[in-house]
Chains A and B, each alone.
Chain A
Amino acid sequence: EVQLVESGGGLVQPGRSLKLSCAASGFTFDNYAMHWVRQAPGKGLEWVSGMRWHIGSIGYADSVKGRFTISRDNAKNSLYLQMDSLRAEDTAFYYCVKDSGAGDLESWGQGTLVTVSS
Chain B
Amino acid sequence: DIQMTQSPSAMSASVGDRVTITCRASQGIANYLAWFQQKPGKVPKRLIYAASSLQSGVPSRFSGSGSGTEFTLTISSLQPEDFATYYCLQHNSYPYTFGQGTKLEIK
Contacts and interface: CB of A to CB of B under 8 A. Distances in A.
Interface of B: 1, 32, 34, 36, 38, 43-44, 46, 49-50, 87, 89, 91-92, 94-101
Interface of A: 35, 44-47, 50, 58-62, 95, 100, 102-106, 108-111
A104 B94 CA distance: 11
B50 A102 contact: yes
A102, A104, A108, A111 — which one has the most chain B CB atoms within 10 A of its CB? A104
Contacts, number: 58
Given A47-B96, A60-B95, A104 B44 contact: no
A62 B89 contact: no
B43 A59 contact: no
Contacts of A62: 1, 95
- B interface, by DSSP: helix, strand, loop or mixed? loop
A103 B93 CA distance: 9
Contacts of B50: 102, 104
Contact of A47 (B43, B98, B100): B98
Contact of B49 (A58, A60, A104): A104
Nearest to A51: B94
A106 B35 CA distance: 11
A18 B32 CA distance: 32
B49 A50 contact: no
Per CB-CB distance, the 9 closest pairs between chain A and chain B, nearest first, are: A59-B94, A47-B96, A104-B34, A103-B91, A44-B101, A108-B43, A45-B98, A104-B91, A61-B95
